[in-house]
Structure 1
């Protein structure tokens, strides 16, 4: 009887230890947020909360896109540069004093948006096709397309008389569509792109959970050979995942250009790091076949909560890179521990 009680006690301790280790990232973030709030009470103000929500909405599309690649046990490090290319393409057709295409008046916003989606979609197709047909590792493929995309951005910005300069002076219609007021809470305004982010989350949830494509994606991520035997068109699924991801990157660029009100060669730089960190924090496993849309939303939200808090603490921006690196490292370590424990 004593042995049983001792064993039961060990099981409880192990369960508590597992719970703490598996949720270590959430615990660390909660503690950090509480500490920041104590030092800087304004961190919990309405303006701060709305700022966190808007930043989350702006970063959600790229995370939703890259998550599909991670579900396939891959990644997409070209994501940030695709965001930058989309933003540049849209900006070049939506500015009032056009130096890239001299004399061109701002086009109806649907035209540059579709152009950006097509351009990014082509890059997504190249990524997916290379992974599916040539059996290349997604990291290598997207490293190559990251460099190619950045080169295209630099060349594009030198067209006409622009000479690589920052693009600004957007058509008010474009800016209003993205950053116009959705609703007002007190003296704080919530922009339109928050609504767009909600719609994208809903659409991606349906795609992941209610379509054959979504089921195939998880099947391929869990076990590619088993998916093939089950009749899943693995190549088509992989290609479609990367194309869908690229579309989300284009939408991120669409929002980002209007939100920041200027676009240059560094737009989108390192965005994929934040997106990958958010996905892993939100439970999208690099082991493959695991992930939920709700987890991605939570991951992006938590990341913005901590980064906004660090800004309130006036932490040097250079240290944020170090912090992001540690977050990715810890999150991946926790993810791998969960996988090994299950195995």
Structure 2
């Protein structure tokens, strides 16, 4: 009898160890899975092309993705509240042509085009938030309407033509560097830090997650849901205005066609980074990693001379896979 008991115990020990190992592995994948994917993608591109893993190219990837990254960081709180913003790309175009008109040499101090960029972005965000929170429009419909209207306004203001002749101080925002670090990367990092603090260390951040988790419970708990939603969309608009200013400065002209498909890249970065379309889940760090994954993929495929059409197909497949995984997670819950 004692011999049988000993055999049972010895059989249980390996099973318990296997279970513990699986649990630890699953926890690591949940916490660091997206980061592991980024490193694997970098390793793969480094093997496929010798030009990929060089310091200038790494800096170039982050600089290129800083604009999409800033938009994605703004979109993240919106998605956490179960919302969506389809107007980001058109906002970029509107801000681009407005700012360019105030950035000619000798016309206005540098603070004027900066204020115009942030002001236009904030205004568009406030309109979106008000239509959604107080007008009770679905986020998809409200921001789809703004996407069309903002693009039309950009074409109207510029008469469909680029606006050039921008001042050197303004061009420094998108083309300059401080201590060897490109200014767009510095702004991207600051936006990430500020938004992380906003989501993790303030009451508004707690309210955002609460609304995304259960809006009715948030209302019951006394949270002013409408006010929070307006603030969330206003913040996304503010960051969209900032991104539009950086892009205009970098290409040294106001372009009414700027920002095409930027909203989808931003949403993709957030979703790939683990922000749930079902609401209540999302992190700034994950969104930044998601943006870098898109940047690494685009840059690597460019270096490999892969047709741009194939790049779009690959990106689409990755987005669908990320949403599918998110859906599976929520079904299990």
1:1-343 paired onto structure 2 within 5 Å: 1=8, 30-96=39-105, 105-158=106-159, 164-184=160-180, 190-341=181-332, 343=333
Mark the runs of 5 or more structure 1 residues left unpaired by the alignment: 97-104, 159-163, 185-189
Residues 29, 306 of structure 1: 8 Å contact kept: no
CA contact (8 A) 1:21 1:334 kept: no
Larger radius of gyration: 2
Shift of 1:305: 1.2
Instruction: Specify whether residues 139 and 95 from structure 1 end up closer, same or farther in structure 2 by C-alpha distance, changes over 3 A only.
Output: same
Residues 274, 324 of structure 1: 8 Å contact kept: no
- The offset of 1:134, in angstroms, is 3.0
Deviations 1:102-123 (A, max 9, x none): xxx5321221222222222222
Give CA deviations for 1:252-300 in whole Å, capped at 9, x if unaligned. 0011111122232210111111111111111111111111111111111
Deviation at 1:179, TM superposition (A): 2.0
Query: Are the equivalent residues in 2 in contact too, given 1:25–1:330 (CA < 8 A)?
Result: no
How far did residue 332 of structure 1 move? 0.8
2:3 corresponding residue in structure 1: none
Question: What are the Cα deviations for residues 209-229 of structure 1, in whole angstroms up to 9, with x where unaligned?
Answer: 122111111111111100001
Q: Could you tell me how far apart the structure 1 residues matched to 2:230 and 2:147 are?
A: 17
Kindly tell me: are residues 31 and 258 of structure 1, through their superposed partners in 2, closer, same or farther at Cα, counting changes over 3 Å? same
Partner of 1:263, secondary structure, is coil
CA root-mean-square deviation = 2.5
Alpha-carbon distance in 2 for matches of 1:176, 1:120: 21
Task: Quote the Cα distance in structure 2 between the aligned partners of 1:308 and 1:338.
Answer: 30
The TM-score with structure 2 as length reference comes to: 0.88
Change (3 A) 1:13 1:209: closer
SS in 2 for 1:154: helix
Equivalent residues of 2:174, 2:248 under 8 A apart = no
Does structure 2 retain, via aligned residues, the 8 Å contact 1:90–1:254?
Answer: yes
Listed one character per residue, the Cα deviations across residues 281-340 of structure 1 (whole Å, up to 9, x for unaligned) are 111111111111111111111221111111111112222222221121111111122222
2:4 maps to: none
User: Is the 2:38–2:289 Cα contact (8 Å) retained in structure 1?
Assistant: no
Tell me, in whole angstroms, the C-alpha distance in 2 between the residues paired with 1:150 and 1:9: 59
2:26, 2:326 → 1: CA distance?
Answer: 12
Shift of 1:58: 2.9
Unaligned runs of 5+ in 2: 1-7
Q: Matched residue of 1:106: which SS?
A: coil
Q: 1:219 and 1:24 mapped to 2: Cα distance?
A: 25
Separation in 1, partners of 2:235, 2:207 = 14
